[in-house]
């Protein structure tokens, strides 16, 4: 995530200079990223020379399928499942890390295999350079206008949400730049996947439906939702690990948790409003707990609901992917009345809509 070897020095400096102070203890982190950005220049130049015309001529012959859902709602699990169907292409981890040089750069692939962990730190999901990844990470490596760059400046996360998810009060040229870069990113992914139809997972897109429909009017959407109480606890874990890994600023746990509550509320309000824009037959909504309990049934309902052919041809591939997950251990959370009240005060509209029960409190051992 964020600027690296895949980013230009100009974009990286624009990001750091426009978002406030950097704490002194994080200066070495800034210096390292500057160094990596410089190191990647020849690879970016080569790819631009070698592939720019080919990318411009690449077309998305079928509209993308967008998997939506707030972070920690099961979007990764659903995405990993669906890309077992060989008819679908996706943005790879390698493309997300090096979006300006991955087509002509195999050197970093072998290099990154040494350092890339086998599993994601927040939930132990498998990682790999060729596995599916969300394109918001690639956007963060392409230019400053990505929500994920907010993890460098966590005190400004709400501003990043407004600017680069909702595009409110930003110059028109930034919005147009985002459109061009996003479309180019998908064309590169299509080229990398030999023309396959793209299925993409990006929680930030949950509040970008109107923008996506302007770019891809025939796009299809899958929204996955999950118990908001679990989402809150899991998102706290996700945000804290992201901030620890990338931040240039100090932020309190309380402020970070308030960002989580605020962003989820705004994101889901936007989703409920903008999903009305999706043409009939191009949206299906599923519950994570149902996908977990009956994955094949839910997958088949997605194919039927969106009129996608090929489910039966890939059923064995789905089973092969699901089999080793039977031993997967999810994080377990202890709830307090304070946490429940906090979630209820912000997210009651989703809890009521989806009919989730209040979690049981741990039994106290008082004498």
Q: Residue 291 pLDDT > 60, yes or no?
A: yes
Flag whether pLDDT at 186 surpasses 90.
yes
Percent of the chain with pLDDT over 70: 77
The contacts of residue 315 (CB under 8 Å, 6+ apart) are 296
Confidence grade of residue 6 (pLDDT, cut at 50, 70, 90)? very low
Per-residue pLDDT tens over the stretch 27-73? 565 666 665 666 666 666 667 767 788 888 999 999 999 999 999 99
- Residue 18's pLDDT is 59
Give the three-class secondary structure for 89: strand
pLDDT bracket for residue 141 (50, 70, 90): confident
User: In the prediction, which pLDDT does 98 show?
Assistant: 85
pLDDT at 109 over 60: no
Under DSSP, is residue 220 helix (H, G, I), strand (E, B) or coil? strand
Handedness of CA 291, 292, 296, 299 (dihedral sign): positive
Neighbours of 11 (CB within 10 A): 19
Q: Is the pLDDT of residue 131 over 80?
A: yes
Per-residue pLDDT tens digits for 294-340:
999 999 999 999 999 999 999 999 999 999 887 666 777 889 999 99
Tokens of 12: 């990286």
User: Contact at 8 Å (CB) between 26 and 17?
Assistant: no
Is the pLDDT assigned to residue 90 strictly greater than 80? yes
Domains of the chain by residue range: 9-354
Fill in the DSSP letter of residue 119.
Answer: B
Q: Taking residues 224-252, what's their average pLDDT?
A: 91
Closest to 8 in 3D by CA, of 250, 255, 16:
16
pLDDT of residue 2: 47
pLDDT for position 23: 60
Length of the chain: 367
240/206 Cα distance (integer angstroms): 21
For 211, residues 6+ apart whose C-beta sits below 8 A from its C-beta are 167, 179
More confident residue, 80 or 9: 80
Q: Which two tokens stand for residue 279?
A: 């043409």
Contact 236, 260 (CB under 8 A): yes
Mean pLDDT of all residues in 237-259: 89
pLDDT band at 241 (very low <50, low <70, confident <90, very high): confident
Q: 20, 238 in Cβ contact below 8 A?
A: no
Task: Give CA separation, 130 vs 85, 139, 189, in Å.
Answer: 15, 18, 12
Quote the tokens at residue 15: 């990001």
Better-predicted residue by pLDDT, 4 or 84: 84
Residue 284 pLDDT > 80, yes or no?
yes
Q: In this structure, what token pair is assigned to residue 209?
A: 């439906």
> What is residue 132's predicted lDDT score, i.e. its pLDDT?
93
| Span 214-241, average pLDDT | 96
Distance separating alpha carbons of residues 247 and 220, to the nearest angstrom: 35
Dist CA 103 CA 156 (whole Å): 33
Tell me what pLDDT residue 367 has.
33
Q: What is the pLDDT of residue 39?
A: 60
Out of 181-185, 246-250, 283-287, 321-325, pick the least confident.
Answer: 246-250
CATH label, 9-354, candidates 3.40.1190.20, 3.40.50.300, 3.40.50.1000, 1.10.10.10: 3.40.50.300
H or E, element range at 264: helix 253-274
Query: 262 and 270 in contact (C-beta within 8 Å)?
Result: no
Mean pLDDT score across all residues of the chain: 85
Query: Residue 187: pLDDT band by 50, 70, 90 thresholds?
Result: very high
Q: Quick one: pLDDT at residue 124? A: 53
Residue 244 CA neighbour count, 13 Å, CB half: 9
Q: What pLDDT, on a 0 to 100 scale, did the predictor assign at position 326?
A: 75
SS3 342: helix
């Amino acid at each position: 995530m964020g600027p690296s070897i895949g980013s230009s020095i100009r974009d990286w400096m624009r990001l750091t200079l426009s978002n406030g102070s950097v704490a002194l203890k994080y200066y070495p982190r800034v210096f390292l990223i500057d160094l990596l950005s410089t190191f990647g220049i020849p690879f970016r130049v080569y790819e631009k020379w070698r592939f720019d015309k080919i990318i411009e001529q690449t077309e998305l012959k079928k509209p993308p399928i967008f998997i939506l859902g707030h972070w920690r709602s099961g979007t990764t699990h659903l995405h990993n499942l669906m890309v077992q169907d060989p008819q679908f292409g996706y943005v790879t981890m390698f493309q997300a890390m090096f979006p300006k040089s991955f087509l002509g750069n195999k050197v970093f692939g072998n290099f990154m295999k040494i350092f890339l962990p086998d599993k994601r730190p927040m939930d132990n999901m498998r990682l790999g350079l060729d596995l599916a990844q969300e394109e918001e990470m690639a956007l963060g490596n392409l230019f400053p206008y990505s929500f994920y760059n907010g993890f460098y400046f966590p005190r400004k996360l709400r501003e990043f949400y407004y600017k680069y998810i909702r595009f409110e009060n930003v110059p028109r040229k930034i919005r147009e730049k985002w459109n061009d870069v996003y479309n180019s990113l998908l064309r590169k992914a299509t080229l990398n996947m030999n023309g396959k139809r793209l299925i993409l997972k990006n929680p930030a897109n949950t509040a970008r439906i109107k923008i996506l429909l302007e770019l891809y009017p025939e796009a299809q959407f899958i929204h996955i939702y999950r118990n908001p109480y679990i989402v809150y606890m899991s998102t706290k874990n996700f945000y804290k690990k992201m901030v620890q890994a990338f931040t240039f600023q100090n932020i309190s746990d309380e402020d970070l948790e308030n960002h989580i509550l605020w962003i989820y509320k705004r994101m889901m309000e936007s989703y409920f409003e903008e999903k009305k824009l999706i043409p009939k037959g191009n949206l299906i909504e599923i519950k994570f707990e149902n996908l977990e309990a009956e994955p094949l049934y839910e997958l088949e309902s997605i194919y039927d609901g969106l009129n996608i052919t090929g489910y039966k041809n890939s059923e064995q591939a789905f089973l092969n992917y699901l089999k080793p997950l039977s031993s997967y251990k999810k994080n377990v959370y202890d709830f307090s009345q304070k946490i429940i009240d906090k979630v209820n005060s912000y997210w009651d509209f989703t809890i009521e809509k989806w009919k989730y029960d209040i979690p049981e409190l741990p039994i106290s051992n008082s004498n």
